[in-house]
Amino acid sequence: MAGSRRAVFVCCDGLGRNWVRPDTTPILDDLRHRSLWCDAHSAVFPSVTRVSAASVATGCLPARHGLHGNRMGLIEGGKIVVRDVGHPDFRTHMRRATGATLLVPALAERVAEAGGFIGFSNVSPGAAYFLDPEHFGHIYHRAGSFAPGGARIEGSDGLEVSHDAAGDWAMTQRFCAEVLEDRRPAAAFLWLADPDHTLHGVPLGSPAHHDALAAAGRCVAGVFRTVERLRGAGEEILLLVGSDHGQETIGDSVDLDAWLAGRGLGKFLEAGDVAVAGQGTAAVLYATEQGRAPLLGVLDEMSRAEWAGEVIAGDRLAEQGFAARGGAVAAVNMARQGDANPYGVAGRRWVVDEAGKRAAVGSGQHGGWGPDEIRPFLMMNDGGRSTGIVQRPSCITDIAPTIARFLGLSGEGFDGQCLTS
């Protein structure tokens, strides 16, 4: 019954499934052999943290929950305005433009009357807040922490940690002591910054990357020890440990706005009738009715550019779990380059330039549907009763329905499916 069990989810942001090995993540590799391991687990598109947080929280694809990316175009005053979803006030702009935040309920709403939800997050504010955008539970983040109803949690009662591995560890220690052992909500989420935070500035396979993997493993070990101690005292806890996406390597970059302007769309870009929302190794392309035909008219040429791996529109967006609404017209997955990075990690990619930012060539990136960036990991540990491999394809949208089923709640309204019997 709801309330008699608890579920805990730990997300190691950006830790691709190919890095869960004895030589790179011994703690995670040991835990996988004590757990159910999802061997064909996938991300959503765009494979970015803010969208992933919404999909984990709701159990739905972006086509259902309505969040488009780390950057998203909103129709404001009849024009497309691209905004940073990671900014703390993005939800205010989204409500004003669309009338809502997410279009489906998050897990925090589902468990509000069945033991409650507490989330600790050390990624961007937007990614943290889309775990519970309407404040049905408690969300803790360094940019601001909130109680049910949206009341701000002030001072040291909030979350004051650094955005790095040290902050992850401090957050984990508090999560274990305060959330797991003391407050004991039905659903508790811990979302680590690393290895993703580190990888956006260093190469995959580098010593700094391995340090970040070790730091994430240390946090997972701390949670697992706490959960095991509580199980020993008679509690029934389902522990899920996973990630939201993987990473690939930045090779070259392209300014899509400049490319479009060079094909005669400059006036539409300046007027807000065409816009580009870069997602790292992908982009979502927006248009008003005035800009739609001109934008569609250059997609064929775009698909032949050396930097474009695949350009999709219309029904093909739906095949990626994405909806052509709110001005979204098309998406481009950036091309893959065959050579490996200096540490022998294959998979260099073109990325989309962002205004005012230089691409960190050689560092990690994600956002599209490349083979490594869409391969997160997931394991489910129930104390060793269930071990082995889940062979069927799974997705990050399966996390919420799996938790709901474990807690005895309704499984209706999810895109994902329960992964346990």
Give per-residue pLDDT as tens, 185-213.
999 999 999 999 999 999 999 999 999 99
pTM to 2 decimals?
0.97
In the block, residue with structure tokens 């404001």 = 76
Number of residues that make up the chain: 421
- H or E segment at 129? helix 125-129
Tokens of 201: 């500035």
CB 376 within 8 Å of CB 38: no
- pLDDT of 281 reads 98
Cross-strand pairs, 364: 249
Q: Is the peptide bond before 125 cis (omega within 30 degrees of 0)?
A: no
CB 95 within 8 Å of CB 76: no
CATH number of 249-364: 3.30.1360
For residues 346 and 212, give the distance between their C-alpha atoms in angstroms, rounded to a whole number.
19
Sign of the CA dihedral 264, 265, 268, 273? Answer: positive
Q: Which residues contact 300 (CB under 8 A, 6 or more apart)?
A: none
H helices present in 305-363, as ranges: 315-319
Mind giving me the DSSP string for 243-279? -S---EEEEEEE-HHHHHIIIIIHHHHHHTSEEEEE-
Please state whether beta strands 6-12 and 71-76 pair in parallel, antiparallel, or not at all (unpaired). Answer: unpaired
The domain ranges of the chain are 6-67+102-247+372-406, 249-364
Kindly indicate whether the domain formed by 6-67+102-247+372-406 is annotated with CATH number 1.10.760.10: no
pLDDT mean values, one per 10 residues, the chain (421 residues) = 78 98 98 98 98 98 97 97 96 96 98 98 98 98 98 96 98 98 98 98 98 98 98 97 98 97 98 98 98 98 98 95 95 93 94 85 96 97 95 97 97 96 75
For residues 402 and 416, give the distance between their C-alpha atoms in angstroms, rounded to a whole number.
9
Within 10 Å of residue 38's Cβ, how many Cβ atoms? Answer: 26
Angle at CA 397, nearest 5°, toward 394 and 403? Answer: 95
CB 254 within 8 Å of CB 261: no
- pLDDT of 166 reads 98
- pLDDT of 1 reads 36
Sign of the CA dihedral 63, 77, 270, 72? Answer: negative
Q: Which residues of 54-81 are buried (b: 16+ CB within 10 A; e: fewer)?
A: bbbbbbbbbbbbbbbbbbbbbeeeebbb
Please state whether beta strands 138-140 and 117-121 pair in parallel, antiparallel, or not at all (unpaired). Answer: parallel
Report the candidate in 170, 254, 161, 165 with the shortest Cα–Cα distance to residue 202: 165
- pLDDT of 349 reads 96
For residues 33 and 16, give the distance between their C-alpha atoms in angstroms, rounded to a whole number.
17
- pLDDT of 3 reads 43
- H or E segment at 57? helix 49-58
In the block, residue with structure tokens 């305060």 = 178
Hey, is 366 helix, strand or coil?
A: coil
CB 105 within 8 Å of CB 86: no
What are the helix and strand counts (H, E) for the chain? 15, 22
Q: Which residues contact 13 (CB under 8 A, 6 or more apart)?
A: 49, 123, 191, 192, 193, 194, 195, 196, 197, 243, 244
- pLDDT of 222 reads 98
Q: Outline where DSSP puts E strands in 39-133.
A: 41-42, 71-76, 79-84, 117-121
Hey, is 350 helix, strand or coil?
A: strand
Phi and psi torsions of 90, nearest 5°: -60, -40
Report the candidate in 46, 52, 14, 123 with the shortest Cα–Cα distance to residue 279: 46
